[in-house]
Amino acid sequence: MADGKWYKEMCVYHIWPRSFCDGNGDGIGDLWGVLQKLDYIRSLGADAIWFSPIYPSPNADFGYDISDYKNIHPDYGNLDVFRELLGEAHKRGMRVFLDLVMNHSSDEHPWFQESRKSRDNPYHDYYYWRPGKTVRGRLIPPNNWTSHFEGGAWEYDEKLGEYYLHLFARKQPDLNMENPRVRQEFKEIMRFWLDMGVDGFREDVVTFIAKTPGLPNSYPWLPAINGLEHFSNLPRVHDYLMEFKKDVLDHYDCFTVGESPNTTAETALRYIAEGPDQVLDEMIAFSYMEADCILTDMIPRPFSLRKLKRAMSDWQEKLEGKAWNALYIENHDHSRVISRYGSEQYRVESGKMLAAMYMLQRGTPFIYQGQEIGMTNLRLPSVELYPDVSTQNAARIASHVLPRGQVLKLIQRAARDNARSPMQWSAEPNAGFSKAEPWFAVNVNYPEINVADQEQDPNSLLNFYRKLIRFRKDNPVALYGTYREHDRKNRKLYVYERAYEGTRLLVICSFTADQVRFDAPEGIKLDKARQVLGNYEVNFVIANGFTTRPYELRVYLIENEVRNEEK
């Protein structure tokens, strides 16, 4: 229903600041660069920007290890530039969301530095410090949990004689949210930014912020991921989020989207179902990015359209009338979607198809920088050239079971770094990203794939994104229509329908270069429908169906049926 909540009609542009645009010529993206590109972002039709972390950070996990929550990384600018950016974004009608990482800080954060000084330091209990266990004369960690990025989840501190918990990299110690002082710190951090004019937060791995008291051993259900049942979606997560909402967020007109690994649509509803228990506006579905892998991108499988459809329809159907979806097909944690779910050979066709496929569903679309021009995966010649900590971890694990060449292939396919190469602005040196040598490899295809070229071409992917966003805004059926999938078992076509007040929208997406016969679902007459979007020329339709061309997309609008029938 159209209930006037602004986040339901917005479209969000996601910036990974290090690789977006270098404004001061040191090879690193920054806020000065973003300032130069605000008109570009607005020209897409974006209503908001979400920044991956821009705070001071030693960059063990490129900003997701924060050493000061109330400042800006000097590589990116300072608070004055940020305030200017905020004002300029607002002037253009765009909101600004920050990434809030509450599960862990950097080990270089003063809280952690204090906490490791002594067991009775007032900050000691900000983190999970525990003595180890002695087994047959050997000291072992307090439990068997594993980290996502670097082996076991515990790191020993010689001086203190205790271990600290890190569910991600060693340099990302987990914060103890159980401690009310830690929650107080985060309330102040939220207020600090909201008072400045920030419009909301994307809350990093928010489903992990509570742990089972006593931190018990995990049942080793998967050799490489231990502990999930003790740190994922525990009931206290909801309690903490409710406290943040009541004490802070409710006092501002702001938006929150939770990042939620290991979370089904049912579980998500605990947090986002509209009503008195709602604590977040939206949640990010991980299953969208699992159609060609098992649980993690690093265990690849052939792409399965049915798996993708199941994931998307599941969230569409379960949230219908209850909660609002976050729609995305790319972010900074996954390789490029055209290289995964589409086709590099049919880059523009598949790029347009994928865009309409997800953006015409019910929810708030997020667009990740470079997605709108169809950037593709890098293929760097050696594993060492991929700087991400989780990439290096995956390569280390894979090298136990795979020959070198296969490890490189895996990394080329699945590394998060694929999404982190500099934005391709033009065919000028360094893709127009920077006057200096960029901090990370520019994709060699920038002379063919860049913003400047696509600005000139009315049929470019970039201009298709603009058209699509405009269409979504102009058509309530695209925003508020109900969702219904057709032909679920089809392995090559994704067909769904939206319906709102007598208007229907039929979205037909081919996920193959093969020719596939499409027949309109019962009750739909294509010759009475108007094709409103597509990626090929279409003249007329015969026999209420057609044979698809590679990665073909067609979107039909069937208007005012009720009135027609009444006549």
Contacting residues toward Ca ion, per CB under 5 A? 22, 24, 26, 28, 30
Residue 280 has a CB neighbour count (10 Å cut-off) of: 24
Q: Annotate 209-218 with b (16+ C-beta within 10 A) or e (fewer).
A: bbbeeebeeb
User: Taking CB under 6 A as the rule, does residue 208 contact ligand GLC?
Assistant: no
Residue of 340, 335, 361 lying closest to 350 (CA atoms): 340
User: Taking CB under 6 A as the rule, does residue 259 contact ligand GLC?
Assistant: yes
Interface characters, 50-69, with ligand GLC (x: CB under 6 A): -----------x--x-----
User: Taking CB under 6 A as the rule, does residue 333 contact ligand GLC?
Assistant: yes
According to DSSP, the residues that pair with 104 across neighbouring strands are 174
User: Taking CB under 6 A as the rule, does residue 150 contact ligand GLC?
Assistant: no
Residue in the shown chain whose Cβ atom is closest to Ca ion:
30
Nearest-approach distance from CB 163 to ligand GLC, in angstroms: 20
Please give the single-letter amino acid code of residue 111: W
User: Taking CB under 6 A as the rule, does residue 168 contact ligand GLC?
Assistant: yes
- Give the list of residues 6+ apart from residue 233 with CB closer than 8 angstroms, or none: 207, 262, 263, 267, 270
CB 290 within 8 A of CB 333: no
> Is position 199 annotated as part of the catalytic site?
no
Integer CA distances (angstroms), 449 to 368, 425, 434, in order: 16, 9, 16
Output 26 or 453, the one with its CB closest to Ca ion.
26
Residue in the shown chain whose Cβ atom is closest to ligand GLC:
64
Per DSSP, the residues of 165-184 read E-SS-TTSPBB-TTSHHHHH
User: Taking CB under 6 A as the rule, does residue 271 contact ligand GLC?
Assistant: no
Output 12 or 205, the one with its CB closest to ligand GLC.
205
Among 199, 259, 330, 333, the active-site one is 259
User: Taking CB under 6 A as the rule, does residue 281 contact ligand GLC?
Assistant: no
CB 510 within 8 A of CB 548: yes
> Is position 204 annotated as part of the catalytic site?
yes
Nearest-approach distance from CB 415 to ligand GLC, in angstroms: 12
Nearest-approach distance from CB 284 to ligand GLC, in angstroms: 9
Nearest-approach distance from CB 288 to Ca ion, in angstroms: 32
* Distance, CA of 526 to CA of 542 (rounded, Å): 8
Contact positions with ligand GLC (CB under 6 A) in 67-106:
101
Q: Choose, by CB under 6 A, the member of 44, 72, 165, 205 that binds ligand GLC.
A: 205
Contacted entry of Ca ion, ligand GLC, none for residue 205, CB cut-off 5 to 8 Å set by kind: ligand GLC
Contacted entry of Ca ion, ligand GLC, none for residue 344, CB cut-off 5 to 8 Å set by kind: none
Q: Which tokens go with 54?
A: 């821009």
The DSSP output letter for 218 is: P
Contacted entry of Ca ion, ligand GLC, none for residue 24, CB cut-off 5 to 8 Å set by kind: Ca ion
Size of the site for ligand GLC (CB under 6 A): 9
Q: Where are the beta strands (DSSP E) in 264-330?
A: 282-284, 293-294, 296-300, 326-327
User: Taking CB under 6 A as the rule, does residue 165 contact ligand GLC?
Assistant: no
Output 22 or 282, the one with its CB closest to Ca ion.
22
- Give the list of residues 6+ apart from residue 535 with CB closer than 8 angstroms, or none: 348, 349, 352, 353, 464, 551, 552, 553
CB 311 within 8 A of CB 265: no
Show which residues are catalytic.
204, 259
- Where does this chain bind ligand GLC (CB under 6 A)? 61, 64, 101, 168, 204-205, 259, 332-333
